Amino acid sequence: MKNLFLCVIVLLSNIITQAQTTQVEIMDLSVIPGIRADIQPDTTDLIILFKINNVNLGAKAYYYFGTVQDAGDVLSVTGNIIGQSGTYYLQVNGVQKEISGYTATAFIKLSNVQNAGFHYLTVFAEDNNGLITDKLYFHK
């Protein structure tokens, strides 16, 4: 009887854990210094790309520039995933880029102080139920 009770508890906890897992997954983080026409001498532009599946379930993307992983103590930026007529876009700092071939692209401008101050970039997404994906890390 104790074994049956234990099996039921294990099965229920497994079902609850699966129910709280997002169907959205991100992978393949890439960070590239960007060159833009409006470049200012005291800023650095970064092009940040990652792949996202089930974009139709995505709601937000988070970019934490920090001195350590998972910290946005230098700069935190949030982007919105927007669907329009079956096409999805990532909007970050007023710039909207189409999510093409599962690749989401963001342009983020950092001051030279912010660029020098961050050592890690943590990127993750949130689905439309408020659940977050695994985190991707870039170490400078």
Please give the model's pTM, rounded to 2 decimal places.
0.83
Residue identified by tokens 């007529």 is 85
Nearest CA-CA partner of 110 in 65, 62, 61 = 65
Q: Which CATH architecture has domain 24-35+42-139?
A: Sandwich (2.60)
Would you kindly state where each structural domain of the chain is located, as residue ranges?
A: 24-35+42-139
> pLDDT in tens for each of the 140 residues of the chain?
555 444 445 444 444 444 568 999 999 999 999 765 566 678 999 999 999 999 999 999 999 999 999 999 999 999 999 999 999 999 999 999 999 999 999 999 999 999 999 999 999 999 999 999 999 999 99
**Contact criterion met (CB below 8 Å) for 122 and 75:** no
Go through the chain and tell me how many residues it has.
Answer: 140
pLDDT at 41: 74
Which amino acid, 82?
I
pLDDT at 36: 59
pLDDT at 7: 42
